[in-house]
Amino acid sequence: MKVLVINCGSSSLKYQLIDSETEIALAVGICERIGQDVSVLKHTPNGGEKVVKETSMKNHEVAIQMVLDALTDADHGVIKSLDEIGAVGHRVVHGGEKFAVSSIITDEVIKAIEDCNDLAPLHNPANLIGIRACANLMKGVPMVAVFDTAFHQTMPPKSYLYGLPFDYYDEYKIRKYGFHGTSHSFVSKRMAEFAGLDLENSKIIVCHLGNGASISAVLNGKSIDTSMGFTPLSGLVMGTRSGDIDPSIIEFISKKQNKSLDEIMNLLNKGSGIQGMSEVSSDFRDINEAMDNGNEKARLAFDVFVYRVAKFIGGYVAAMNGVDAIAFTAGVGENDHKVRAEVCEYLGYLGVNIDLDKNMTRGKEVMLTTPDSKVKVAIVPTNEELAIARETVALL
């Protein structure tokens, strides 16, 4: 079956058409600046040249129509007719406590996703726009929602509750949810296979280190803890997000600089992290270059990032009473050998021993540890679109 995977943001829409039998992405693309005067569609058929089209996409329905046109185009299309699309898999950011697994999309499911809008006001409404637009344009094609939060719904209360009065959980469902669940699920399963572990009897730590970054503790195939929380702002220091800070800092900044809550939240989400600390960039390629040129703030930002990753790993080893394997994934985890090497330097107490030559690998699945290492460490590339396509097919 051919599955169209849609990841809809407020002004962008990423897509892949995946053949579920071969697991090959027949086409990948993105619509950017939806709703603005000039929008862009970038469409790359498998093995073909990237096609870039500048046009106006006044809303997501227009964008999806353009995607469908590109997929069936005589020149750069990959299917003859839309009838070949057997299903659509939608990435949905927040499923709250309602969704512990993916769901076939019905009116009730749409309503339940809507009920979670409060928890992800920037993301869920955009995801719903994508779902409704596809429903209008592809009548009768089954659709599945795959939630970023679902994999972490197995966390026990001692892991997901904050030290707040219980009422805040009861009344408003304020708790840790965790994100990047599709990636943590995909990578932990693959890590078990790759390391020759029985998933049902394994202790795996997944380090999803990208522009957004999170770590999870996966015990016997189930997430028992993760570093992101009520929102994707907490945990690790990220590209532009602060990660964990003392909440009192918010009040302090507000008084010192007379900033509103919105301004401070914007600062914590978009002006902090690696970008804010280094004053160079949120991108680790730039940070590495700046470090090579002796930039001390870049080095400091890098050190803070690595130290935080190492501490979360240590915490999750304690939570699981051990660890069999650690996986590095996403943009930084798959590509930045220095991050991996320096994190692993902190893990000597676990008997982690990596082969520094193998660690120079970029973006490919590879076991980094030497045969005598007590814990296996590997690069396991994530593939959230493929995971969504698999979930979609499995459900249907």
Sites of contact with ligand AMP (CB under 6 A): 210-211, 239, 283-285, 330-332, 335-336
The residue (of 177 and 302) whose beta carbon lies closer to ligand AMP is 302
What is the C-alpha to C-alpha distance for residues 291 and 306, in angstroms, rounded to an integer?
14
**Tokens representing residue 74 in the block:** 């005589």
What is the C-alpha to C-alpha distance for residues 219 and 319, in angstroms, rounded to an integer?
9
Q: Provide the minimum distance between the beta carbon of 19 and ligand AMP in the complex, in angstroms, as a whole number.
A: 23
Phi/psi class of residue 258: alpha, beta or left (left: φ > 0; alpha: ψ in -120 to 50)?
Answer: left
The residue (of 210 and 229) whose beta carbon lies closer to ligand AMP is 210
Q: Provide the minimum distance between the beta carbon of 274 and ligand AMP in the complex, in angstroms, as a whole number.
A: 8
The residue (of 20 and 44) whose beta carbon lies closer to ligand AMP is 44
The residue (of 285 and 311) whose beta carbon lies closer to ligand AMP is 285
Who's near 279: CB < 8 A, 6+ residues apart? 297
Residue nearest to ligand AMP (CB): 331
Alpha-carbon dihedral sign for residues 225, 231, 234, 240:
positive
The residue (of 15 and 284) whose beta carbon lies closer to ligand AMP is 284
Contact 113, 104 (CB under 8 A): no
Of 69, 107, 118, 148, which one is the catalytic site residue?
Answer: 148
Q: Provide the minimum distance between the beta carbon of 333 and ligand AMP in the complex, in angstroms, as a whole number.
A: 8
Alpha carbon of 353 to those of 55, 188, 203, 337: distances in Å?
A: 52, 20, 18, 14
Q: Strands 366-367, 376-379: parallel, antiparallel or unpaired by DSSP?
A: antiparallel
Q: Provide the minimum distance between the beta carbon of 132 and ligand AMP in the complex, in angstroms, as a whole number.
A: 27
99 burial level (CB within 10 Å; 0-12, 13-18, 19+): buried
Q: Provide the minimum distance between the beta carbon of 183 and ligand AMP in the complex, in angstroms, as a whole number.
A: 9
Please say if 148 is a catalytic residue. yes
Tell me which residues are annotated as active site.
148
